[in-house]
Amino acid sequence: MKRLLGRGAIVTGAGSGIGRAAAKLFAAEGASVICFDRADGVEETGRAIRDAGDTAIVLKADAARESDVAGAVDLAMREFGRLDAVYANAGISGGLGPSFFEATAADWMQILEVNLIGVFLAIKHAARVMVPAQKGAIVCTASVAGLRSGAGPGPYSASKAGVINLVTTAANFLYGTGVRVNAICPGIIETGMTQPIFERARARGTEGKIGQLNPLRRYGHPEEIAAAALFLASDEASYVNGQALPVDGGLSSSLPVVGRDK
């Protein structure tokens, strides 16, 4: 359908997982994409996009550093002449880390800098060029862990709750500009971030139980989150603004129930 034909886009965290899947999908749908990540895997993402005959620029940079984010926006304007979509997807989990009350301020700051401040920087600098154009879509990766307890460590969960609030706040600060800001709240997805969970389950022979708490009774794939990001970045979501969309197999639709029938 080429839903992003002729448009300029930035995808952060494009070196693997959801970011890689989204960058490839955006490019396949016609966008010229800046693949932004500090990890070496971003080179592979850019190469895959170019091998498919689509347009990508690789930028090794840090989503938590304002000069890097501002530079990515400037690069898009210089190379593409426009910036229509930004997917602020870069994030870290911090691993299992220390227990809640043993975590330090430094533990929290490391996660907040990438997961929350990095998203703020993406919104800030995207808006800088989108507002004059009176159009643009900013999509942010939050998490079901930001909706309620039980889906991630404390600092990670708090950072993602912050993203959800940031999206609603930013959408209203951009009142009347034509720029939309939305979030996606993934459930458990097999990515580099969650790989230890999957490796432990496979070692125990319990991979089939991952995701069993949601009504679809399975885990998700990066391409399923990328498809939601494409929707929110496209004109098909032209009336969707300030929302946090769970893409979680239905996990967040219910509270825990004992003895649920199949």
The set of catalytic residues is: 156
Rounded to whole angstroms, the Cα distance separating 102 from 78 reads: 46
Q: Are 63 and 36 in contact (CB under 8 A)?
A: yes
Q: Are 252 and 144 in contact (CB under 8 A)?
A: yes
Query: DSSP of 15-48, one letter per residue?
Result: TSHHHHHHHHHHHHTT-EEEEEESSTHHHHHHHH
List the structure tokens of 188. Answer: 């458990």
DSSP state of 189: B
Measured over the CA atoms of residue 248, residue 254, residue 256 and residue 258, the dihedral's sign is negative
Q: What is the amino acid identity at position 146?
A: G
The arrangement of strands across the sheet holding 8-12 comes to 56-60, 32-37, 8-12, 85-88, 136-141, 179-186, 244-247
Query: DSSP of 88-113, one letter per residue?
Result: E-------S-S-GGG--HHHHHHHHI
